[in-house]
């Protein structure tokens, strides 16, 4: 890993933001995101949870419509 150093007062003019509030250093964009990879069972659990929620919502809508 490279060495991390602090910036001094003379370098503060290198930092800036654009009209979309994206951060720049010396004219180059600063990337502040990191990709993550989830395990297969976590993805499967998320899909199962989403499908369960949609199924319950459809059932409740049908029950509501049948009650009128």
Q: Mind listing the pLDDT tens digit for each residue in 1-20?
A: 678 888 888 888 898 998 98
Find the farthest-apart pair of alpha carbons in the chain and give their distance in angstroms, rounded: 71
Structure tokens at 27: 């004219």
pLDDT at position 21 is 86
**Domain limits of the chain?**
9-67
Global pTM exceeds 0.75: no
3-state secondary structure 36-54: CCCCHHHHHHHHHHHHHHH
Q: Mind listing the pLDDT tens digit for each residue in 9-62?
A: 888 889 899 898 889 998 899 987 888 899 999 999 999 999 999 999 999 999
């Amino acid at each position: 890993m490279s060495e991390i150093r602090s910036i001094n007062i003379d370098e503060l003019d290198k930092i800036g933001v654009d009209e979309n509030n994206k951060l720049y250093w010396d004219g180059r964009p600063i990337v502040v995101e990191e990709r993550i990879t989830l395990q297969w069972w976590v993805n499967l659990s998320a899909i199962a949870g989403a499908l369960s929620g949609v199924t319950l919502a459809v059932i409740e809508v049908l029950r509501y419509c049948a009650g009128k």
